[in-house]
Structure 1
């Protein structure tokens, strides 16, 4: 497969910090958000403890804690961006989602709301951009609305397609897939649809989606380590 046909969609979220899916379905990589969420929760617990004390010493430690947490987030974003770019050959295309509304699209409970609102997704995308540019990889942005509700196989859109946070089952075709992986494939498809002058929100066009549907889901690697 030539690099001109190599498209990678990157879906960002809570359970999985990022999910990468290539246009032919042969490469699917998950960057688990569990580790970074657990660390963020520890920082939050320490922050509450220091804030409750309110002493000058606690305030100094609080400032240091914030700086340490910022460095942690930056390091994680660098790691994820590096591994995403390593998946793509020079001349390929990385398709990212426009971030407007991401915090509304990602449904979370109260305990995770602060985490999803504080994570710097824009920084992660910037890191992907400059690392990709250095390798000769194009980065484009697409509207990600409905990518979590749309079947990446047939294009049917429905809220009922989501069977929980992690599982996607199309009510029309019966196609089943990890929900984050399904969204990642739809991000690629929205870009391919835009090349044909379509919105990417409607039903599937075989001429647009053939490249994405050539293969079934292969093995999924987990790429976030403590």
Structure 2
């Protein structure tokens, strides 16, 4: 399970019987981005008018609206996992990720508003209620590694293109496959062709 800004969450499934990633699913982050942008615009206008009391009030409202969307996504992720026998949800350990952000001020503000940790917390809480184990793995190169051949390269826009084996693939699905393989490699499972993605969002 990969979490991000463009797609709030992305999942693929692997199994011991068929280590090839399959049943790809995307949960769009568009609604959360829209909510964040709308409230940021309102805050700027209120700050110019020195209505700091209202700035705090709409901040609480923004939090409630975003949390509602995160709960909806987390519930759908649990439903996705439950279709498999004895599922395990695997996610990246993303501690201290914000400390390493070094983009523009605008980009950093946007990424600091990214609710990845809260979404992971909701997923883990709901998974525990269903008896589904949650495992966190090292995020190193999960977004840069070809899930088919293991070559490390940079994604280009929304696509990952591997210069070694020629794979052209959705970058978030590729990351999700690498996250799954980060766990299964230690279990002696293999990796194979690209997943048969349902491409839902």
Check 1:104–1:19 CA distance in 2 against 1; reply closer, same or farther (3 A cut): farther
Pick closer, same or farther for the CA change 1:39–1:109 going to 2, 3 Å. farther
Q: Residues 22-101 of structure 1 correspond to what in structure 2 (within 5 A)?
A: 22-23=13-14, 24-54=20-50, 58-89=51-82, 91-101=86-96
**SS at 1:165 equivalent:** coil
Aligned residue pair count: 194
**Residue equivalent to 2:189:** 208
Mapped to 2, the partners of 1:110 and 1:176 lie a distance apart of 32
Q: What is the CA-CA distance between 1:26 and the residue it aligns to?
A: 2.8
Residue 17 (structure 2) aligns with: none
Partners of 1:147 and 1:186 within 8 A in 2: yes
* 1:194 partnered with 2:194: no
Tell me by how many angstroms 1:156 deviates.
1.0
Gaps of 5+ in 1: 1-9, 196-206
Q: 1:16 to 1:35 in 2, by over 3 A?
A: same
Q: Residue in 1 aligned with 2:4? A: 13
- The equivalent residue for 2:159 is 167
Matched, 1:123 2:118: yes
Q: How much does 1:120 deviate?
A: 2.6
Bigger CA drift: 137-146 or 98-107?
A: 98-107
Structure 2 runs not aligned, ≥5 long: 15-19
SS in 1 for 2:22: coil
The RMSD of aligned alpha carbons is 2.2
Give secondary structure in 1 for the equivalent of 2:89. Answer: strand
**Cα contact 1:91–1:136 (8 A) shared by 2:** no
